[in-house]
Amino acid sequence: MPIDKVPEQLRGQVTDFLTKNKQAYVDASKVIASGIPSTDQRYIDAVATINQVDAKFKNLSNTLEDIALKRQAALDGREHGKGALSWQISDHEDLANGTMYDNMTIQDDGGFNYNSNDGVTKRWADYSNTFQTSSVGTDSFYDLNDTYTKAGQQGTTIDETRAREQFRGILSGLKTDGARDFMFSDREFLATKIKAEFGTDEYNNELNKLVNGGNTEALLKEFEDFKVKQLTTSNTNGINKYNELLELRDSGRKGENFSYGFRSFPQINASLKNLKELIKKESGELTLPNGTRIMWDGKKKIFTAKDEEGIYNLTPDQIVGVFEGLYTQNDVFGDFEFGQHSSSKDEDSKEDSKMPTQGSSNRKMIFNSIFNTPTEAFEKTVKETARQLSENAGTEEFEKRKKEIEEEQK
């Protein structure tokens, strides 16, 4: 080990350490070379000594290299993280200017101890104070906040529990020092704790008291509440924008004529809201605008319905189909990931697995008979059909033809 590569303040200690352990190595080698049996305790102890000396020399070499690398990092980065404590800053500066070497002490294993500015003697192996300012926490939060805003603009509500879970994920990834740096870099949060004007000496003094006040855990809890509120507010603002767009699109109309009848927009919007809330639950039921009662299994993430033939599965497309083109699946469910739909025993027997409605089979049969329209064409022109039906319903010719068709089906 070239002694000239060792910091000058440490050379005396390193030289003494090398001399002492080299002699132990030589003495042990002589015992092994003496010809005594390898089962002799002296031989066994000598082998152990040689292995220990090798380990000490290797640890010394690695430690000196680590000290050199971290000192260079300290010299290259003198700007400290916003959450750095005063003693951490002092340790960092002591390493950068080399004064830390004056109080470093070599240990029997080849490592070093140093006296930290918090008054505690610490192992060099535990030193990790080569921190820099970082935007990782801030960038991660901005990305998450954008996601919450976009989800709201698509009509998807994200509750506080989910927001808190995801924000804690950010803090966990940053670890303690990174979380402190993130918190003490957040001017909006700090404005709730510091009343002085940003950038003034008074502000910096108050900030220094916060950083070194010893109540980091409590502050991080407040910070979490603050950022979770920002996330849910962004989502709510997105939801409000989504609802404004819906109202603008539906302005001037009181509701919508569907194949199963007229439904007011308050009724339709209530159904949308109930569907969005239903998929957040473990289970539940609701009635769709067409009168179909559906069940939700939150564990399997599937919808089912029941008729006289039994229970069968419903796909999200079938649920959205009840609104007959008024909304898309993204409007109703956003990017929610549904479970796999396995075929029920009677699903294949249902034409196109169509959604049951009150009198749906008779209604389609009547529609197709009156207008002689294939099913595919009917689906595309259902709104026009509904309008015509509403005009013809109740006329003598309509009711007569309806009874004739019903008789044919008996």
Q: How far is CA 290 from CA 150, 263, 315, in A?
A: 30, 9, 16
Domain ranges of the chain: 3-117, 136-247, 257-409
Structure confidence at residue 383 (pLDDT): 44
CA torsion 171-176-177-178 (nearest 10°) is -10
Structure confidence at residue 396 (pLDDT): 62
Structure confidence at residue 347 (pLDDT): 44
Structure confidence at residue 406 (pLDDT): 55
Q: How far is CA 293 from CA 116, 349, 355, in A?
A: 69, 20, 11
392 or 173, which is more confident? 173
Structure confidence at residue 43 (pLDDT): 95
Task: Indicate the burial class of 342 (C-beta count within 10 angstroms; 0-12, 13-18, 19 or more).
Answer: exposed
Structure confidence at residue 395 (pLDDT): 59
Query: pLDDT tens digit string along 66-82?
Result: 999 889 888 887 777 77
- Cα 27 to its chain centre, rounded Å, is 60
Mean pLDDT for 75-98 is 83
Q: Which string of b and e fits 154-172 if b means at least 16 CB within 10 Å?
A: bbbbbeeebbbebbeebbe
Structure confidence at residue 354 (pLDDT): 43
Structure confidence at residue 386 (pLDDT): 43
Structure confidence at residue 345 (pLDDT): 41
> Is there a contact between 234 and 152 (Cβ–Cβ < 8 Å)?
yes
Question: Which of 50-64, 360-374, 390-404 is the least confident region?
Answer: 360-374
Neighbours of 397 (CB within 10 A): 9
Query: pLDDT tens digit string along 185-220?
Result: 899 999 999 999 988 999 989 998 988 888 888 999
Task: Indicate the burial class of 131 (C-beta count within 10 angstroms; 0-12, 13-18, 19 or more).
Answer: buried
Query: pLDDT tens digit string along 236-280?
Result: 999 998 888 777 666 666 888 899 999 888 888 889 899 999 999
Structure tokens at 39: 């089962």
In the predicted model, what is the mean pLDDT of the chain?
82
Tokens 């009840």 -> residue: 322
Mean pLDDT for 13-38 is 94
Task: Indicate the burial class of 284 (C-beta count within 10 angstroms; 0-12, 13-18, 19 or more).
Answer: middle
- How many helices (H) and strands (E) would you count in the chain? 15, 9
362 or 101, which is more confident? 101
Neighbours of 266 (CB within 10 A): 10
Neighbours of 74 (CB within 10 A): 21
Q: How far apart are CA 111 and CA 121, in angstroms?
A: 13
Closest CA to 338 of 302, 299, 295: 302
Structure confidence at residue 245 (pLDDT): 75
Structure confidence at residue 131 (pLDDT): 59
| Percent with pLDDT over 70 in the chain | 80
